[in-house]
A and B are shown apart, each in its own frame.
Chain A
């Protein structure tokens, strides 16, 4: 996993609420290999493209100031619905490394961390203000520093954010969870031995 330490990049305001992972990547594209040369076009595919493949000019990612955006600032319950991790793959294929929202679908939230994408929960007011500032200066950059847990909005205001210390550690170091868990092999084995005794009916 690619470590995440800091990021300064164009941020795009995404005002919709309850954006489900079916919107982020339609289910018919889930079977495509990640190596697909068009993977980047899968992100928000049906919102972003007409049937003939031409761009929908109204869609915000198709607008000039936001084409190289790498930070997405969304409304509440972003990434709800399906557990599809390809939603994160599609964001990454477009260069996104951070998503900011007042709340996230739980599974999507975890999927982000597991791929080196930083999801940041802020208050509803902060999310609204960040988006308003971005709308006011289209194409503006934001800066995210993971170690001190700060983000700087388009207007230069600095905000503090919370992040799970374990997740933070993994992101900073680029650690994958399996490697880390294997360090607990003895604990897992001890648990299994005891558990098999206690719950014999689970092991016919």
Chain B
């Protein structure tokens, strides 16, 4: 009998073009996604004089620099940002690549657009010059972020050199507690294992909780795999996955669909397959989470308190905590629910999908924001769907800004930033120093928790808010 294999091994092995004796492998790339930050790579490609090897397997979409207050080129906050969007357009034209440009309702954040368009499929090997490419693994693919030189390499050769990473399985046991969303699950995992714990590893998330998640929830989980250092994150494809992919514009149809599904069903890890590292986490302890510090590993249940660095035995870790607490303007021991915020941001490739907006809207409905707050749908199609459902009215009636799709305040590259010293409740993926603007203080959380924070003006436990009567009624 054949050796039981992991899903990662199966997909990896089916993409091997060359296995060198020195441990390097040349892998075939099924789909390559590029965005408006990929201009260095196109310049590098031009320097080689080579064409794009497979234009039909390359998709482009502007997202990092696109304006969200208005969606015309002229809405870009300055000439430099405008130029970034124009450059992608020009590169797509020159190399004959599909582009979902500004003005196309399919435009959005590259990691929202890929799955939404059916470009992302189980069994694929996908790359993109963006670290959150790990998102796409949620549909049972190997997907990882690469640098600009590698992007140019993939453009020229449709392949990439890699050393095979180790495998890690993270199994969640028990039941998902009430009020715990996919974002809480992944924040809790990162808090438990640490921001560097999965370095050099391909992670598979396993267990009934992930199996019971919707495809969009899985996308949220896999999106943040990189925040634990993982090369990629993945979840076994199943009926949920197939139902999600079916009927999307770039998904196979008819006879091809049957063939694809038959193959996809062979992908999950075989019983008895061994992983280099196994991590087990009990879900029962997970509560709605928020971050207090400047690394995604600095996450705690909302019922907790800002930690005291003095409790940290390791000197380097103690210093890191002190620095983070100082930057964040917090006091050790203070209750997380006493932290007041200045802004709330709902969106990003982590939490900018329709289900995220539905959850946030359910919290917001009939209430008013206490601080400036914005909703940035992950794509034009997400925005359109939300408007069909009347979610835009729920948000705007509550005082939220309802904006155009893009990366926006997750990374602030389009000019959507918060001011120095200001504090945000954000559904994005990184609370790094200055991530949302110089001196900005970011607290990561789920869309429900960010909505609750927007309403109360402080970090708060959404489980309590949803039971309480609406303010102002």
Residues from 202 to 229 in B contacting A, C-beta threshold 8 Å: 226-227, 229
A202→B30 contact, CB < 8 A:
yes
Query: Which stretch from A60-68, A77-85, A90-98, A143-151 is at the chain B interface?
Result: A77-85
Residues of A within 8 A of B295 (CB): 18, 20
B256→A204 contact, CB < 8 A:
yes
Residues of B within 8 A of A107 (CB): 131, 144-147
Q: Which residue of B lies closest to A165 (CB)?
A: B22
Q: Which residue of B lies closest to A168 (CB)?
A: B22
Residues from 16 to 33 in A contacting B, C-beta threshold 8 Å: 16-18, 20, 22-23, 26-28, 30-31
Decide yes or no whether A106 CB sits under 8 A from chain B.
yes
How does the 8 Å CB contact mask read for B124-158 relative to A, with 1 for contact and 0 for none?
10000111000000000000111111101100111
Contact A28 to B195, CB < 8 A, known contacts A16-B320, A191-B28: no
Residues of A within 8 A of B146 (CB): 83, 107, 110
How does the 8 Å CB contact mask read for A20-56 relative to B, with 1 for contact and 0 for none?
1011001110110010000000000010000100000
Least CB distance, A181 to chain B, in whole angstroms: 5
Residues from 83 to 106 in B contacting A, C-beta threshold 8 Å: 83-84
Residues of A within 8 A of B332 (CB): none
The list of the 4 closest CB pairs from A to B, nearest first, reads A77-B196, A114-B149, A201-B252, A111-B147
Query: Which stretch from B357-365, B372-380, B429-437 is at the chain A interface?
Result: B429-437
Decide yes or no whether A164 CB sits under 8 A from chain B.
yes
Residues of B within 8 A of A182 (CB): 156-157
Least CB distance, B358 to chain A, in whole angstroms: 29
Least CB distance, B10 to chain A, in whole angstroms: 13
How many residues of B are counted as interface, with CB atoms below 8 angstroms from the partner's CB atoms?
70
Residues of A within 8 A of B279 (CB): none
Residues of A within 8 A of B435 (CB): 22, 27
How does the 8 Å CB contact mask read for B146-185 relative to A, with 1 for contact and 0 for none?
1111101100111101010100000000000000000000
B23→A164 contact, CB < 8 A:
yes
Alpha-carbon gap, A199 to B291, bound state (A): 43
Q: Which residue of A lies closest to B252 (CB)?
A: A201
Decide yes or no whether A157 CB sits under 8 A from chain B.
no
B157→A166 contact, CB < 8 A:
no
Residues of B within 8 A of A70 (CB): none
B17→A191 contact, CB < 8 A:
yes
- B23's partner among A17, A75, A166 (CB-CB below 8 A) is A166
12 extra interchain contacts, Cβ-Cβ under 8 A, other than A114-B147, A165-B23, A201-B259? A18-B320, A20-B430, A23-B433, A26-B438, A46-B433, A46-B434, A114-B150, A115-B149, A169-B22, A184-B26, A195-B28, A202-B30
Contact A187 to B196, CB < 8 A, known contacts A17-B320, A20-B432, A178-B153: no
B434→A166 contact, CB < 8 A:
no
Residues of B within 8 A of A202 (CB): 30, 121, 124, 252
A187→B26 contact, CB < 8 A:
yes
A178→B152 contact, CB < 8 A:
yes
A77→B199 contact, CB < 8 A:
yes
Decide yes or no whether A192 CB sits under 8 A from chain B.
yes
Main secondary structure of the interface of B (DSSP, over half): mixed
Alpha-carbon gap, A76 to B199, bound state (A): 11
Decide yes or no whether B18 CB sits under 8 A from chain A.
yes
Residues of A within 8 A of B334 (CB): none
B260→A188 contact, CB < 8 A:
no
Alpha-carbon gap, A31 to B144, bound state (A): 22
- A164's partner among B163, B252, B263, B432 (CB-CB below 8 A) is B163
Task: Categorize the interface residue count of chain A.
Answer: 35 or more
B145→A181 contact, CB < 8 A:
no
Residues of B within 8 A of A106 (CB): 144, 165, 199-200, 229, 231
Alpha-carbon gap, A103 to B201, bound state (A): 13
Q: Which residue of B lies closest to A105 (CB)?
A: B229
A76→B196 contact, CB < 8 A:
yes
Contact A15 to B28, CB < 8 A, known contacts A27-B411, A184-B17: no
Residues of A within 8 A of B323 (CB): 16
A77→B252 contact, CB < 8 A:
no
Least CB distance, A185 to chain B, in whole angstroms: 8
Contact A188 to B157, CB < 8 A, known contacts A77-B195, A85-B148, A114-B149: yes
Decide yes or no whether A177 CB sits under 8 A from chain B.
yes
Least CB distance, B231 to chain A, in whole angstroms: 5
How does the 8 Å CB contact mask read for A169-194 relative to B, with 1 for contact and 0 for none?
10000001110011010011001100
How does the 8 Å CB contact mask read for B244-280 relative to A, with 1 for contact and 0 for none?
0000000010001101100100000000000000000
Decide yes or no whether A86 CB sits under 8 A from chain B.
yes
Q: Which residue of B lies closest to A78 (CB)?
A: B196
B153→A188 contact, CB < 8 A:
no
A83→B145 contact, CB < 8 A:
yes
Decide yes or no whether B193 CB sits under 8 A from chain A.
no
Identify the interface centre among A75, A83, A86, A202: most chain B CB within 10 Å of its CB. Answer: A83
Alpha-carbon gap, A177 to B48, bound state (A): 12
Residues of B within 8 A of A184 (CB): 17-18, 26, 159
Decide yes or no whether B413 CB sits under 8 A from chain A.
yes
Alpha-carbon gap, A106 to B134, bound state (A): 13
Residues of B within 8 A of A203 (CB): 56
Alpha-carbon gap, A131 to B61, bound state (A): 43
Alpha-carbon gap, A85 to B149, bound state (A): 8
Decide yes or no whether B331 CB sits under 8 A from chain A.
no
B316→A15 contact, CB < 8 A:
yes
11 A–B pairs (Cβ distance < 8 Å), ordered by A: A17-B317, A18-B196, A46-B433, A85-B40, A104-B199, A107-B131, A164-B163, A166-B23, A182-B157, A191-B28, A201-B257
